[in-house]
């Protein structure tokens, strides 16, 4: 009778001790900034979430946003809400981009983000699009940002950005 209880307590004990390997003290998608000695290169290591996605929290202006890293996205794609938080308000004179998304074809406004930072990595003059309200649930950090880095790599459930 006590053997199953002891077994269950052992399983829960191991799970509790192991939880520190999978849970960060910071917010989900928290980044661990680092630098490579002597090179000035900035590294950010982002752990994947439970679905295997990489979530980052870049800053545009004074707004800290939540974005999904998407190497299949050509641009940085901002939800209308995130663009507003960052003070980006596209006007009728801004160029229009017709984009193919997982949910079909969408017309968005092209903008340029003066400065965008993820951790200590700063990229200036980033091509972005502002999506129509309700067309996207989360903003995307696409190749317009990623290709401006010194490099990025996915390995072992971690995304490393090199700036």
Here the contacts of 122-129 (C-beta below 8 Å, separation 24 or greater) are 122/163, 123/148, 123/149, 123/163, 126/76, 127/75, 127/76, 128/75, 128/76, 128/77, 128/78, 128/88, 129/75, 129/76, 129/77, 129/78, 129/97, 129/99
For residue 23, the model assigns a pLDDT of 34
Range of the domain at 109: 25-162
User: At 81, which CATH number?
Assistant: 2.40.70.10
- The structural domain count of the chain equals 1
Mean pLDDT for each 10-residue chunk of the chain (163 residues)? 41 36 42 53 94 98 98 96 97 92 90 97 98 95 98 97 96
pTM assigned to the model: 0.77
């Amino acid at each position: 009778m006590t053997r199953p209880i002891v077994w269950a307590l052992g399983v829960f004990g191991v799970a509790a001790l192991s939880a520190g390997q999978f849970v960060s003290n910071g917010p989900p998608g928290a980044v661990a900034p680092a630098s490579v000695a002597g090179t000035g290169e900035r590294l950010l290591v982002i752990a994947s979430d439970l679905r295997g996605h990489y979530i980052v929290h870049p800053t545009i202006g004074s707004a800290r946003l939540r974005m999904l890293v998407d190497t299949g996205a050509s641009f940085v794609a901002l939800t209308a809400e995130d663009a507003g938080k960052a003070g980006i308000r596209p006007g009728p004179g801004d160029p229009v981009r017709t984009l193919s998304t997982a949910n079909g074809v969408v017309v968005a406004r092209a903008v340029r983000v003066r400065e965008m930072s993820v951790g200590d990595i700063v990229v200036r003059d980033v091509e972005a699009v502002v999506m129509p309200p309700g067309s996207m649930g989360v903003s995307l950090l696409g190749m317009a940002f990623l290709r401006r880095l010194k490099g990025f790599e996915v390995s072992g459930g971690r995304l490393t950005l090199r700036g």
